[in-house]
Amino acid sequence: MTTLNLITFASVFQDKTEQSIREAHRELFDALDSQYDVRVIFEEDLPTFRPKLQEMTLLFIATGGTEGMVVRRYKELAHPLIFLTDGKANSLAASMELSCWVRHQGDTCSILHGPMRVIMSKLQLLEERKKLSGLRIGVLGEPSDWLVSSGVSYAKAREVWGIEYVDLDLQQVVQQFEATPVTPALQEQADAFIRGAQSCREPSRDDVFRAVRLFQALRTIARQKRLNALTIQCFSLIPTTHTTGCLALSMLNDEGIVAGCEGDLQSIFTMLLSQRLTGQYAFMANPAFIDTERDDILFAHCTIGLKGCQQYIIRSHYESQSGVAIQGILPTGAVTVLKVGGRALDEAFVSDGELLDNESDQHKCRTQVRVHLSRQGVGEHYFLADSIGNHHIIIPGHHAEPLQTLFQSMGIKLRQW
């Protein structure tokens, strides 16, 4: 049973014992006790309070008149702040005042309130968020020069989501690549990739060997550094390794190590979140064309996990015309388009949609899919006017509703119009 810590604030007119708090909010505590190991922590206990990583912690506002108490203890509280209130004794009013104050500090917060079934449902979603706590994202090199709005504050990301970004020098990748021999096992892995393809166009067999060597090198680094995910400054590797990262990242994703390109800090987090919360593969892609009349968007990129493809064609990398890339043929049907961004990873866009077909334009990145999004006006009002950067993540199935509920429960700002 998950431990639920309730840091409890009550006015000076309330008898501040756990028994009296429980009696005053009996319906709430009966519901919480049925699902969680509930621990009541009072203000004076904060200096010695040390929650464990797997525990959930909320601020329980038991009464009104508690705003000043919370403000005084603000720096001691774990962020982001989630205020739990059942509305009794002016507690909702106090929570609203506090929520406004926290946002004015530039921080993220939310209020957990409503019918008991709603509160319990949102708590289950917040439990899902704990699946991300303690996960490590490797940043191999630096974000690409063109990602001018995709930065992340490592400290804020840890505060909001519990994740850790780990910086690694790109030279470590080059050294590991050079130390990786072309063994019979590596050759067989490359040959199996070639045999499984619908066709192989530009790359040679030696090109595929070199790309698989890079996969082996990145997998070794991921294991040594205990990485759950990684993003790499892939374009900068081409002159030194004479290959591209597209196939390596594809193979890492198929093995469960979430991997993204261009050193995009926001997109790799979004990929990791979608994998952990939905269990689905994630396709990181550029919007390449937007039909604003139909709300159809063409997404394209040069790497995708093979497990997400019905078939694939072995291609060269589009921009550099070198190395090995993948033209994936994806199944049509339900998808979700998602992006979590902002320097604190506290902004999000999510929409259900339908993958309509696969395209093959020689002037775009290799894997190309046309998606119709269910939110009317999304092309013009979000993608062209208020988007969270460039890259977006596509996952199979419709997941927008639970993800929106999770984001709202955490105080994540949803892009809406």
pLDDT, position 405: 87
CA neighbor of 285 nearest in space, from 212, 352, 364: 364
Looking up tokens 């519990």, which residue turns up?
A: 162
* Whether residue 53 sits in one domain with residue 174: no
Looking up tokens 């104050």, which residue turns up?
A: 101
Show which of 80, 108, 131 is a domain's final residue: 131
Q: Note the Cα 283 to chain centre separation in Å.
A: 12
- In the chain, the percentage of residues whose pLDDT exceeds 90 is 78
Q: Between 248 and 128, whose confidence is greater?
A: 248
Amino acid symbol at 155: A
* Whether residue 320 sits in one domain with residue 232: yes
Show which of 131, 162, 196 is a domain's final residue: 131
**Residue range of the domain that includes 72:** 3-131
Sign of CA dihedral 198, 258, 107, 141: negative
Q: Quick check: 305 pLDDT over 70?
A: yes
pLDDT digits (tens, 9 = 90+) for 58-97: 999 999 999 999 999 998 888 888 999 999 999 999 999 9
CA neighbor of 328 nearest in space, from 304, 361, 348: 304
pLDDT, position 190: 96
- Please name the residue ranges forming H helices in 25-72: 26-35, 67-72
* Whether residue 282 sits in one domain with residue 194: yes
* Whether residue 233 sits in one domain with residue 314: yes
* Whether residue 84 sits in one domain with residue 223: no
- Average pLDDT of the segment spanning 280-291: 95
> Does residue 338 contact residue 393 with C-beta atoms inside 8 Å?
yes
* Whether residue 368 sits in one domain with residue 341: yes
Mean pLDDT of the chain: 93
Show which of 97, 131, 165 is a domain's final residue: 131
pLDDT digits (tens, 9 = 90+) for 335-368: 999 999 999 999 999 999 999 999 999 999 999 9
For residues 274 and 296, what is the distance between their CA atoms, to the nearest angstrom?
Answer: 22
Looking up tokens 């000043």, which residue turns up?
A: 68
pLDDT digits (tens, 9 = 90+) for 178-232: 999 989 999 999 999 999 999 999 999 999 999 999 999 999 999 999 999 999 9
Looking up tokens 């470590």, which residue turns up?
A: 172
Compute and round to an integer the Cα radius of gyration of the chain. 24
For residues 354 and 396, what is the distance between their CA atoms, to the nearest angstrom?
Answer: 9
* Whether residue 162 sits in one domain with residue 21: no
Q: Quick check: 43 pLDDT over 90?
A: no
pLDDT, position 269: 97
* Whether residue 205 sits in one domain with residue 58: no
* Whether residue 202 sits in one domain with residue 127: no
* Whether residue 154 sits in one domain with residue 119: no
- Band (pLDDT 50/70/90 cuts) for residue 417 is low
* Whether residue 80 sits in one domain with residue 180: no
Looking up tokens 């990485």, which residue turns up?
A: 227
The count of structural domains within the chain is 2
> Does residue 391 contact residue 264 with C-beta atoms inside 8 Å?
yes
